[in-house]
Amino acid sequence: MELKALTGDITKVETGAIITFFPETEELSGEIARIDEALGGAIAGLVSQGEIKGKLNEITVIHSLGRLPADRVVIAGLGKRTELTPDRVRGAVAEVCRHLQRKRVGTAAAGVPVVGIDNPEKAAQVITEGALLGTYSFRRHITREAEVGEIKELSLVAAGDIKSLEQGIPQGRVLAGAANLARDMVNEPGNFMTPSDMAAMAAKLAETHQIELEVLEREQMQALGMGGLLGVAQGSQQLPKFIVLRYRGRGADEGIDIALVGKGITFDSGGISIKPSEKMEEMKGDMAGGAAVMAAVSAVAQLKTRLNIAAIVPATENLPSGSALKPGDTVTAMNGKTIEIISTDAEGRLILADALAYAGKLGARYVVDVATLTGSMRIALGDLYTGAFGNNQELTDKIVAAGKEAGELVWPMPLVEQYKEQIKSEVADIKNVGSRWGGSITAALFLAEFVGDTPWVHLDIAGTYWSEKEQGCITKGATGVPVRTLVNLVLSLA
């Protein structure tokens, strides 16, 4: 989709559809009033008849029948003004753009600023994100023709100076593009997104955005003592990869400001502790954390953020075989701690143990890890909120704020010290699973053992990485959460 900025009166724009926004129970004013006048009072008539109420994501289409250069006018409901947020605008844009695609409308225009966002640059960014996120689809392996059309061009129209639009559009494109990149990676079948494929994607990002790349192979992992990652990998014929992307926005001589660590299990069968077959196909997405941090660092590079960032992804499959890790086995992580394996289906924390220890070796000032870690998290918070566990309240607060700005909701969760009893082992320093109660908390406590005193937050995206339905900016399948949250966090730290 091409996005461009125009100056002038939106009622004079020749396009397939004009998009205008209308809050609930309000009088027509400004842009929508001018459009209504051109339509001979058609909008006001529908409002008075109760057909247009302005409820959130309500969509009404009026054909102009030659009274405007545009073929149609689309009125997008925003809900109550008192509850209006940039994310509601973002979601409304996404819903409208999908509606226009279903009607095979190829071009559209939206006026800026938008109701509820007085800053034209921010409004342009939000509209851009909504359009690109809402119209995302993954068709790489589908040979039949698409059932919907494509919006080839979306114009953002301002009455005056368009410089702010020309700044907001690229920002929105980078953020949405990064989220859609993560979606592509997660939506790929497991045989097309192996550890080697993840490393190849990292190489492509490094070349495109001038990011340093290092990929550790099995022998190097052995030399570093990465027993957690190697233990999980030993059941698979696919070679494990330890991917490190470094973006240096403050110069090569400066240290790492923040390390973003992402779980990269490219397929999770559960290993010897095998999962039920129902919905197992979704376990191709168990590398969503790894995809998120790779996409986030690519966005940070494009925005030329003045911080040094590392994205760290331990990548492997978790499969059962004659050589696979078994319940009762012990492994030694990179920091020297020994781990008793209770369940081979709690493998994500094993590979993250080595990755977090590696981040500590890099001397990162902050560490954030992202993982589809526990079913308990989805039970606790459903599919709207990501759970955040941390040892630093300031960093946790920044992540919650970054998520709110992105429309990717984050809820702080407790790290309950008393629950450490559940992961004490009688044969090793620690075991990888406690009781079923508070499972997301004990998983976070396990990870904390490999962080030290570094300010750290763990984001459990087990409930938010995937969606069964289409709503707002979310489409079915991979969501791209929490790519935009991570980028917003980095920007706030910068």
**CA-CA distances (angstroms) from residue 172 to 98, 337, 426?**
18, 43, 52
CB within 8 A of 307, min separation 6: which ones?
249, 250, 257, 258, 300, 490, 493, 494
From the list 256, 458, 462, the residue with the least C-alpha distance to 369 is: 458
What distance, in Å, lies between the first and last C-alpha atoms of the chain? 30
Q: Compute the distance between CA of residue 155 and CA of residue 36 in angstroms, rounded to an integer.
A: 20
Name the token pair of 483.
């790519």
CA–CA dist 81, 245 (Å, integer): 43
Does residue 337 carry a catalytic annotation?
no
The catalytic position among 250, 275, 337, 420 is 275
* Residues 292/481, Cβ–Cβ less than 8 Å: yes
Residue whose tokens read 């009607």: 103
Residue 315: CB partners within 8 Å, gap ≥ 6?
195, 198, 199, 240, 241, 242, 243, 264, 265, 266, 287, 290
| Residue 84 φ/ψ, nearest 5 degrees | -75, 130
| Mutual angle of helices 288-302 and 483-493, in 10-degree steps | 40
| Residue whose tokens read 């034209």 | 120
Handedness of CA 23, 27, 31, 34 (dihedral sign): positive
By 3-state DSSP, what share of the chain in percent is helix, strand and coil, each rounded to 5? 40, 20, 40
* Annotation says 436 is catalytic: no
Looking at 98, 246, 349, 378, which residue is catalytic? 349
Contact 225, 258 (CB under 8 A): no
Where in the sequence numbering do the catalytic residues fall? 275, 349
